A and B are shown apart, each in its own frame.
Chain A
């Protein structure tokens, strides 16, 4: 049986401004991602990929079109239902981490759970488990400025995944990191999808990072222009030369 659709964008458009100042950021974009799938959205600066992500994450309303999360149309939801969706179902990862400097790693991770009404004790247990799962078991008491860039982004990912989140949206999640740490972040996100059943949409302009995704969607001037198709097994790359035994 095929996996259920986690998120669907149906002919989503976004226009900012009016008259001569009107800017069409997205034009009738349609895309889906199923449970357990990691999709990369690749495009140059100004192509609309970040707008697509904020609309997918219900942080902005589309001008026209519809977003469905786990089959539920977002437009029909009340403000309260949308806020709950953002707290419980969707996790966000940003290039500049967005950690609160006055809170420890564990407090940063447990915060969204506590804001959603989970007891401080239960939230801390969940936070420590999430940090441990990302190799930060011994960093829970450190403040963001006591962590390296790679560690800070792993804390941000733990915060995005803690609880029972099903959809992870990441905007250039390794843009501020070196190659090794960037790869480690993409490996974590891919593992969360492959083994944890999460759905991830990652926007990036970096082909090496996009290549971690199951599918790469190309965006240009606010329109999806193309996507990768499932390729032959990777082993085909290793057995192309004819051998004489």
Chain B
């Protein structure tokens, strides 16, 4: 979430004060992303430094400054809205790493580990769904923000389901002579890595092991 561009979007409607920007940001995002007021002023100072906004002096009711978007700010906002986020390289996903690591840990039940994560994610989804259920259908911002979270969490559950099935199938396909130490229920029974497996530290296809990841 770019606070910088969210501030520009709010200022594109007209000049606003810092506290007003924080309140409107939270209202527009269905209060799903609470914002620290310090973040607002730091962001505004940087935007002013970069020529994206201008301050309009003190408020008649106090020392607050009103901020106004500049032409450069409008251009920056428009460019940001039309630019797809960088999804070209996979993120360094902690959950994916945990499952991959678990495959090599002696005695670790990958199935149980996957289920623990699945349960946690579904519980989170239940909480988001309750928020959606209790919200007014007219609150479009909240509905969209909650849907985004639900779809994001759902995609992780789907990956866990696919991983679970793939691991189960791999164990079932295993011939008795094979050296892989995993049993049909996803339990690792042997040492971490045989001589043959040792060439490839993580169970990724070799052509993908050097794939660039985002930090």
Contacts and interface: CB of A to CB of B under 8 A. Distances in A.
B115 A225 contact: yes
A243 B129 contact: no
B128 A234 contact: yes
Interface string B12-46: 00000000000000000001111111100000000
Interface in A202-237: 205-208, 210-213, 216, 218, 220, 225-229, 231-237
B127 A44 contact: no
Contact of B125 (A211, A235, A240, A244): A211
Contacts of B129: 208, 211-212
A211 B128 contact: yes
A20 interface: no
Contacts of B157: 207
A190 interface: yes
Nearest to A186: B129
Contacts of B33: 241
B130 interface: yes
Interface stretch (B53-61, B80-88, B116-124): B116-124
B131 interface: yes
Contact of A244 (B38, B130, B164): B38
B31 A238 contact: yes
B154 A207 contact: yes
B36 A242 contact: yes
B119 A244 contact: no
A187 B115 CA distance: 26
B186 to A, nearest CB: 10
Given A211-B122, A241-B36, A243-B34, A226 B115 contact: yes
Interface residues of B, number: 34
A165 to B, nearest CB: 23
A218 B33 CA distance: 31
B102 to A, nearest CB: 17
A239 B131 CA distance: 13
Interface of A: 42, 44, 187, 190, 205-208, 210-213, 216, 218, 220, 225-229, 231-245
Q: List the 6 shortest-distance A-B pairs measured between CB atoms, nearest first.
A: A211-B125, A241-B34, A207-B157, A234-B130, A211-B129, A234-B127
Given A208-B125, A241-B36, 20 more contacts: A44-B165, A207-B122, A207-B157, A208-B129, A208-B150, A210-B125, A211-B122, A211-B128, A226-B115, A227-B119, A228-B123, A228-B126, A229-B123, A234-B130, A235-B131, A237-B32, A237-B127, A237-B131, A241-B35, A244-B37
28 contacts: A190-B133, A205-B161, A206-B154, A207-B121, A207-B125, A207-B154, A210-B125, A211-B125, A211-B126, A216-B126, A218-B118, A220-B115, A225-B115, A231-B124, A231-B127, A233-B127, A234-B127, A237-B124, A237-B127, A237-B128, A237-B131, A238-B32, A238-B131, A239-B34, A240-B34, A243-B34, A243-B37, A244-B36
